[in-house]
Amino acid sequence: MLFNTISFALFLPIVFIFYWFVANKNLKLQNILLLLSSYFFYACWDWRFLFLLIFSTLLDYYTGLKMCDSQNKTQKKFWFILSVSINLGFLGIFKYYNFFIDSFLGLISNFGFKMNPYTLNIILPVGISFYTFHGLSYVIDIYKDRIKAEKNFIDYSVFVSFFPLLVAGPIERATHLLPQIQKKRTFDYAIAIDGLRQILWGLFKKVVIADQCATYANQIFNNSADQSGSNLVLGALFFAFQIYGDFSGYSDIAIGTARLFGIDLLKNFAFPYFSRDIAEFWRRWHISLSTWFRDYLYIPLGGSKGGTWIKVRNTFIIFLVSGFWHGANWTFLIWGFLNALYIMPSIIFNTHRKNLDTVAQGKLLPNFKELFLMMLTFSLTVFAWIFFRAQNVTHALSYISGIFTKSLFTMPTVTPLVLFALIGLFIIIEWIGRQNQYAIAHFGLSWPKPLRWSFYYLIIAAIFYFNGVEQQFIYFQF
Amino acid sequence: MRFFLIKCFKFFGILLIIGFCFYGSIDYLNSKKINNYISLIDKKFVFIGDSHIQNGINDELINSGINFSQNGESYYFSYQKLKRIIALNNQVKTVFLGFSYHSLSSYYDDYVFGKYNNEISSRYFFILPTSEKVKFIECNLGDEMSFLKNIFEKGIVNVIRQKDKYSFLGYYQNGFHNVQSRKTSMDKRIHLQFFNKTKIANFSNVNINYLNKIIVLCKQNNIDLIVLNTPLDPYYKSKIPQKFLDKYNQIIETQKLRVIDFHNLKFRKNDFIKDGDHVSVEGSLLISKFLNNQF
């Protein structure tokens, strides 16, 4: 069940009504309802993988309890390693097994050996990277004595499987989400209305921006050998807007949906394309994953302590792991590596925490320097996205070499004017709302109601009109 | 909570009302425009069928005829269209219906309630009776947004477009100049139309059923029905499985249908397009002139 389908538009109000009207008096009942709805939501994709989700939940729940009950450190460590190994083991089998086998074969074939090992012909369970990271954060936090193990299995299961975040995040922390699940939620009118508005904006980003850009990005990337340099640049730009609209749109829908149930999820995007340097970009892009890696990988590796070279090493490690998290392909590793390279100057010269505020705060327009820095950061990001989108490294390299030809200075032949106008409008609205939780959080709130509602109806009409091009969310594959 | 629900009902209620009004207006405008157009047709002969007739019959060369054919049109939609035409226009005396061997193949079922139904049925949506509209909405549950978008889009285009370009009506269209049939393309076409993977395809019950309905409809309204079997490349024809040739002959005999199959005309390779199944502009010229001389 995708967020941008009629099925979800029917599913959501049904769960909402039951949640607030039937189960309102009883927290336990509310959580059971959330769990069953979440399992139903997941089963709509493929019910067979529901068992994997339940197994993963049971594993972390049980090992969490065992860690808490451990008499000594060795015992605790045993349960911790067991949980982490099985979690990563599943991820390894489903996501990385074929990649390692293929890479190994490629390597040994260079030495003249030939093998026919067993490769798995299986599909990747949707959301496995996300719920595995939920579980991992939980067991790591218990191991580090940051939290106590959750005794209530239903509550813990809702933490792992809560349907808005189940398949593509935001990647939640037990310290943030579990307390909300444990305590009674009260309905807040303003939050619920805001949630609906956020869902609407998320759908706009997904259906109107991402899916429309996808058509042209796919067309250009899939036939990159026949495209002029200017078309290839456009293709990369379209992909940049596609992936932003797709993933931040998903996050907005997830966060908005959770707010309808009185649950606050972690913010995942904060207008990343308005960043003035790569460090700022990474504080604004897929925030829940970046902070996850910061807290559970970068800091345990020593973080910023221990001198410049340790910082450089750790930064490379988290960017490479982050790249690899996205998929079993060398292109993702290079994408991670490129981003690590981009961020290096600010790590070495310790300027990575320079731009902590919002660009041109309180001003209508940025100054020339800010504009230049934003354009530079955006260009570097778009360049790295080429690796992210390409089918393999050879494809990415041929794509890039295709850009730097004479044809770069010709007029592009792909000129979807409506889409250009939509992207322009989108950038303006995002710019105006860049200091808020999401772009239209305060947009038009001071307008008279008929005008404000007309604006929302216009967004709905655009969603309806542009619907039907491409439906799958990119991050489902991760 | 109560206030929230009231507000939601209001917001989505207004949206629904706007949606229904919009749909109602499109439906009304389409019906009005279509009915006006059909009632004003001053032609004795109507040509109806799929791409064979659309490509083949250049109605500019036929004094008293008009071509209302469209690619991928099954007899289900031809029937709905014809019903509307007969109900609104008493000038039409003869219906020329495209009928060929592929019309009997189950591959056509994909064009009614099968995989192409979203694209095809949305063309005809506004001429369908309500009960049939519901069937197509049900059929598209799961892809409902794209279906709704398609019918709205086509409905709006119908209202804006020139009268002879309604999405459901069809018209003569052939852009294939200086081409000729090719064996590889013909093999592909034969496989697509008469085979289901490696097995010979079944008959299309929907198409046969609606062919019978068209025959009855014409009889009830004292309209002559003549079936047109547009020419095929000899290689293509030789590859058609025997069961389809037999079924075709059987229907012609049992229904006592008058057939025009252009057997007295001589066709060259460049009278066909690559697939050997459709005529080129040159082929179309030949058969249209022939029909004009005959009628």
List of chain B residues whose C-beta atoms are within 8 Å of the C-beta of residue A464: 145, 148-149
The confidence score (pLDDT) of residue A164 equals: 92
Q: Is residue A293 part of a domain?
A: no
**What is the number of alpha carbons within 13 Å of residue B190 lying toward its C-beta?**
23
Domain boundary among A132, A151, A184: A184
In a domain, A20, yes or no: no
Q: Which residue segments constitute the domains of chain B, with CATH numbers given?
A: 2-294 (3.40.50.1110)
Indicate the residue of B3, B18, B141 with minimum beta-carbon distance to A189.
B3
HEC readout, A239-273: HHHHHHHHHHHHHHHHHHHHHHCCCCCCCCCCCHH
Q: Provide the sign of the torsion angle of the four alpha carbons A230, A234, A239, A244, taken in this order.
A: positive
* End-of-domain residue from the set A150, A166, A184: A184
- A252 and A107, same structural domain? no
Q: Do residue A266 and residue A120 come from a single domain?
A: no
Classify residue A258: in a domain, yes or no.
yes
Q: Are residues A128 and A81 in the same domain?
A: yes
In-domain check, residue A406: yes
Q: Is B266 exposed, middle or buried (0-12, 13-18, 19+ CB in 10 A)?
A: exposed
Together in a domain, A177 and A235: no
From A193, A457, A467, residue closest to B15, measured CB to CB: A457
**A194, A107: one domain:** no
- Name the residue among B14, B15, B146 with its Cβ closest to that of A467: B146
Q: What is the pLDDT of residues A415-424, one digit of tens each?
A: 899 999 999 9
Q: Is residue A470's pLDDT more than 60?
A: no
Q: Give the pLDDT band (50/70/90) at residue A473.
A: low
Asked whether residue A478 carries a pLDDT value surpassing 60, the answer given is no
The per-residue pLDDT for A287 is 94
Distance of alpha carbon B207 from alpha carbon B13, whole angstroms: 41
Contacts of A465 in chain B (CB under 8 A): 149
**Same domain assignment for residues A243 and A372:** yes
Q: Number of Cβ pairs closer than 8 Å across A and B?
A: 35
Q: Among A134, A286, A326, A395, which one carries the catalytic annotation?
A: A326
Q: Please, which pLDDT band fits residue A389 given cuts at 50, 70 and 90?
A: very high
- How confident is the model over A368-389, as a mean pLDDT? 95
Residues B126, B150: Cα–Cα separation, whole Å: 12
Given CB atoms, is A40 within the 8 Å cutoff of chain B?
no
Is A18 part of a structural domain of the chain? Answer: no
A284-303 confidence digits (pLDDT tens): 999 999 999 999 988 888 87
Would A152 be classed as within a structural domain? yes
Do A263 and A380 sit in the same domain of this protein?
A: yes
Residue A263 lies in a domain: yes
Number of domains in chain A: 2
Residues of chain B scoring pLDDT < 50: none
- Report pLDDT digits (tens) over A297-334: 888 888 778 788 888 899 999 999 999 888 778 899 99
If asked whether residues A397 and A465 sit together in one domain, one would say yes
The pair of structure tokens assigned to A342 is 């981009």
How many other CB atoms sit within 10 Å of the CB of residue B205? 11
Angle (deg, nearest 10), helices B2-39 and B75-88: 70
Measured between alpha carbons, how far is A319 from A311 in angstroms, rounded to an integer?
12
Active site residue A326: yes
Q: What's the pLDDT score for residue B159? A: 84
Residues A180 and A198 in one domain: no
Instruction: Specify whether A177 is located in the same domain as A242.
Output: no
- Please determine, for residue A111, whether its predicted confidence score (pLDDT) is greater than 80: no
Cα–Cα distance, A124 to A478 (Å, whole number): 8
Question: What ipTM was estimated for this complex?
Answer: 0.78
Write down the H helix ranges in chain B.
Answer: 2-39, 51-56, 75-88, 117-124, 130-139, 144-160, 183-194, 205-220, 234-238, 242-255, 281-294
For residue A39, pLDDT over 90 is answered with yes
Structure tokens at B276: 């050997």
Residue A85 sits in which domain range? 27-184
CB atoms within 10 A of CB A380: 18
A86-101 tens-digit pLDDT:
988 888 887 777 777 7
Query: CA-CA distance, A439 to A458, in Å (whole number)?
Result: 16
From A140, A168, A184, give the residue that closes a domain: A184
What residue spans of A261-348 are helical by DSSP H?
A: 278-284, 287-293, 308-326, 330-348
Whether B148 and chain A come into contact, CB under 8 Å, resolves to yes
Distance from CA of B65 to the nearest CA of A (A): 38
In this structure, are A176 and A252 located in the same domain?
Answer: no
Q: For the segment B219-263, what is each residue's pLDDT rounded down to a tens digit?
A: 999 999 999 999 999 999 999 999 999 999 999 999 999 999 888
- Examine the domain organization and report whether A78 and A104 are in the same domain: yes
Taking CB atoms and an 8 Å cutoff, what residues of chain B touch A192? 4
Dig out the tokens for A430 from the structure. 């995002």
Evaluate whether residue A290 is within a structural domain.
no
What pLDDT, on a 0 to 100 scale, did the predictor assign at position A38?
A: 94
- pLDDT score at A23: 80
